[in-house]
A and B are shown apart, each in its own frame.
Chain A
Amino acid sequence: MFDFDKWQEIFNTIEKNKLRSTLTALGVFWGIFMLILLLGAGKGMENGVLQMFGDQAVNSLYVWTQKTTKPYKGFSPGRRVQFTNDDIKALRDNFPEIKHVASRIHMGSLTFIKGNNTGAYEVRGELPDYIHIEPIDIREGRFFNPLDIKERRKIIVIGKAIKKVLFGDEEALGKYVKVGGIDYRITGIFKSKRKGERAMEDEQTAFIPLTTAQQIMNMPNRIHWFVCSMHDDIVVSDVEGELKALLRKRHSIHPEDKEGIGSFNLAKEFGQFTGLFAAIKLFVGFVGIMTLFAGIVGVGNVMLIIVKERTKEIGIRKAMGATPGSIISMILLESVFITTLSGYLGLLAGTGLLSLVSYALKEFDAESMFFANPEVDFSIGLLALTLLVFFGAIAGLIPALHAARINPVVALRDE
């Protein structure tokens, strides 16, 4: 039940003892504030590193060819095979685990000409599936569709940076640009979903339909390499071996040849990062709990000192008819009130500072690959606060019981 009178008495005491109350409050405020900053910083680091992956389908495998190292079926080592569209079809037929495949052709750096503006940028032949594996943010126009591939359309999707150099602020969508001596119509302009340098790199790239690239490069049916993403419930490592074995067989590479076909398991890489962050989280959590504990001990300590300091006051109150229960509830409620209020303020200040930092990082484009969007779950903060208040009350209970036992005779004895 809300005892208005009791609270009035408590507020009165807090107000009349500003220094004491402020010092207690400051300790709790600081504990929660630091905890929130700590948690936020940990999360910021995690976000920063995870952003390297953008929105990429992390459950994916990159596969390319390398020189063989073993003789097999009459072939001498040192040979280099080439993937074809048929390989992809075979993989699709044999591995239902595969979700998307993006075969690629690297055309290298080509010269772009638009009026008097020129530049040299990386061009790749891609399939419509590409956008599902390494998502890009199509700001204007569209990415490829199956018809573009079938009809080998001379269209191009360019990065934001290329558009800026060739067209400035002018409209680029639907215009033509000469790339490596051939005219392409621009159907899309994209922005990278990654941050910092990686984004700049991404945005200086252009894509044309894979089939168009095959025709221009005079390599019909052939591709340089491919990425395939697996369905979410598939572990890439489980498929990787069999997938490469099938490719070896199709290209007559010795089954034991570790070279010949190279691959990169992004899921594994990603797993290492998530493992690292699980460890960091554990560490931050541990430090956080210790900080909280220090805060609790601090509150208990201050309460003990307060009780000592208030011995006389408590003696007087007891002489005036205060029951032990009323003394305990007075001390406890005062401590709980101070810890709750200051803890909540610390929580607000901490989350406030974090969102300010987050805002500043975004505003000045300063998010790096090591730190981005520091944040903390407000509910975790509230949980921490609840714990602090609860254990703070328990810590305050010892001094409160101590206070209740104060003998008025001793307390009021004149020195």
Chain B
Amino acid sequence: MIQLRNIRKSYQTGFTSLEVLKGIELDIQEGEFVSIMGSSGSGKSTLLNILGILDDYTEGEYVLDNTLIKNLSQKQAAQYRNQFIGFVFQSFNLLSFKTALENVALPLYYQKVPRKKRQELALEYLDRVGLKEWAHHLPTQMSGGQQQRVAIARALISKPKVLLADEPTGALDTKTSYEVMDIFKEVNNQGITIIVVTHENDIAEMTNRIIRLRDGVIESNTILAQ
């Protein structure tokens, strides 16, 4: 599903350039549930942004579902994002002025799905995360766990190949964190590849593979028997 070949990324800061990723080699198969760990500054967020086609890389090759992701125009990048990837963020990133239902339906709007169909699907996905009754509430009226579940429903509605989660449990207490991870597992069981960035060991333990980053290189790549 994902092949990273010698991925390098450097940022130009003034006269010096800072290399954040120093040649990442990584293969992730379809249906895997992977966690990426590392201290801050290890490059894990940068890696996730590259995987999510939110950011460009300086060198190397990134192939996603047999499509080379390189030197894309903004428009192409947006289309691939919409088509391949679902995002879940630490701070949920729901649009505060839209209801749960509207938030979930948003990716379909950019796929030009008709309104009625959008709403039907959005309701179905909200039901899957157990929030059907909350469809017409604003994010501010919901708890953190509920908001994250809305965000997951939103990430799933476009039927992505890969679900990318950036510290999805960072803002949640242990109990809700586990609930969210349970949802991820369920989603993973349906065959969707999931990549979670986290710095919590217990969260990482729930995935099938832990990739540890340090100073821009992969330090270890451990497959867990689950």
A: residues with CB less than 8 A from B are 5, 8-9, 12-13, 16-17, 312-313, 315-326, 404, 407-409, 412, 414
Contacts and interface: CB of A to CB of B under 8 A. Distances in A.
A321 B74 contact: no
A317 B97 CA distance: 13
Given A16-B98, A316-B95, A322 B49 contact: no
A404 B75 CA distance: 10
13 contacts: A5-B112, A8-B115, A9-B109, A12-B98, A313-B95, A318-B54, A319-B81, A321-B81, A321-B107, A321-B111, A324-B78, A408-B54, A414-B91
A325 B94 CA distance: 22
Contact of B55 (A17, A409, A414): A409
B15 to A, nearest CB: 22
Contacts of A321: 78-79, 81-83, 107, 110-111, 158
Given A317-B110, A409-B54, 18 more contacts: A8-B115, A12-B98, A13-B97, A16-B97, A316-B95, A317-B106, A318-B54, A318-B81, A321-B158, A322-B110, A323-B74, A323-B78, A324-B74, A325-B75, A404-B74, A407-B55, A412-B89, A412-B93
Nearest to A414: B91
Interface residues of B, number: 31
Contacts of B154: 320
A interface SS class: helix
Given A321-B111, A322-B110, A409 B49 contact: yes
Contact of A320 (B55, B110, B115): B110
A319 B93 contact: yes
Contact of B87 (A312, A319, A407): A319
Contacts of B112: 5
A319 to B, nearest CB: 5
Nearest to B83: A321
Contacts of A407: 54-55
A307 to B, nearest CB: 15
Nearest to B164: A319
A407 B75 CA distance: 13
10 nearest interchain CB pairs? A321-B82, A16-B97, A321-B110, A323-B78, A320-B107, A323-B75, A324-B74, A408-B54, A409-B49, A409-B54
Given A326-B110, A414-B90, A5 B115 contact: yes
B52 interface: yes
Contact of A322 (B55, B78, B97, B102): B78
Interface in B13-54: 49, 52, 54
A323 B109 CA distance: 12
Contacts of A312: 93
A119 to B, nearest CB: 77
Interface in B89-129: 89-91, 93-95, 97-98, 102, 106-107, 109-112, 114-115
Q: Which among B83, B93, B97 has the highest number of chain A CB atoms within 10 Å?
A: B93
Interface of B: 49, 52, 54-55, 74-75, 78-79, 81-83, 87, 89-91, 93-95, 97-98, 102, 106-107, 109-112, 114-115, 154, 158
Contacts of B110: 317, 320-323, 326
A302 to B, nearest CB: 18
A234 B106 CA distance: 73
A408 to B, nearest CB: 5
Contacts of B93: 312, 315-316, 319, 412
B97 A17 contact: yes
Contacts of B114: 5
Q: Which among A17, A313, A315, A414 has the highest number of chain B CB atoms within 10 Å?
A: A414
A312 B154 CA distance: 17
Contacts of B81: 318-321
Nearest to B155: A320
A336 B55 CA distance: 32
Contacts of B87: 319-320
Nearest to A316: B93
Contacts of B109: 5, 9
Contacts of B102: 12
Contacts of B74: 323-324, 404
Given A8-B115, A324-B75, A326-B110, A319 B95 contact: no
Nearest to A18: B97
Nearest to B94: A316
A175 to B, nearest CB: 80
A16 B140 CA distance: 14
A312 B92 CA distance: 12
Contact of B79 (A13, A16, A313, A323): A323
A365 B109 CA distance: 61
Contacts of B82: 320-321
A8 B102 CA distance: 12
Contacts of A13: 97
Nearest to B171: A414
Nearest to B93: A316
A320 B103 CA distance: 10
A323 B81 CA distance: 10
A326 B107 CA distance: 13
A16 B94 CA distance: 14
Contacts of A323: 74-75, 78-79, 110
A17 B79 CA distance: 28
Contacts of A315: 93
A314 to B, nearest CB: 10
Contacts of A316: 93-95
A319 B52 contact: yes
